[in-house]
Amino acid sequence: MKAVLQRVKQAKVEVDGAVTGECGEGLMILLGVAKGDCETDAELLVRKICNLRIFCDENDKMNLSVKDINGEALVISQFTLMANYRHGNRPDYMDSASPEEANRLYEYFKSLMARELRHVGCGVFGAHMDVTLTNNGPVTIVMDSNVLKTKKS
């Protein structure tokens, strides 16, 4: 599972001209689900995302998490994070989870985020979405749940 986090002042997503989700200060999260991902991947990412110290304290140092600032999140499914661009100029998405499994884990990820933050907006799975945001920083971090998994010896 991959997540692209952007620290934002605000963000919103629209489908067919209607706002389906938005957030104030906090994080916009693009989420991609790969074949083989499971609930553990979502749990690892949510724990790390919610506690990641990327917001500034009173001394302008990145010492605070989205939870510390009572921030919000906007979560948008994005299968293109699974793009394989190694060969040719047209990426393939063969490493993406099936739509059914990706949506199930996307919904699970959102439910975990909603337990941690006061507000979590979302996009519409599988829809063409227009996303607008005001980046804060900019601060952008790419996460992969495989990096967070501990090695078994």
Catalytic positions, please? 78-80
Q: Whole-angstrom Cα distance, residue 108 to residue 112?
A: 6
Q: Residue 26's closest CA among 61, 69, 77, 59?
A: 69
Separation of alpha carbons 143 and 46, rounded Å: 11
Kindly report the backbone phi and psi dihedral angles of residue 48, in degrees, each rounded to the nearest multiple of 5, phi listed first.
-70, -45
Q: If DSSP codes are grouped into helix, strand and coil, which group holds residue 30?
A: strand
Instruction: Give the whole-angstrom CA distance, residue 136 versus residue 133.
Output: 9
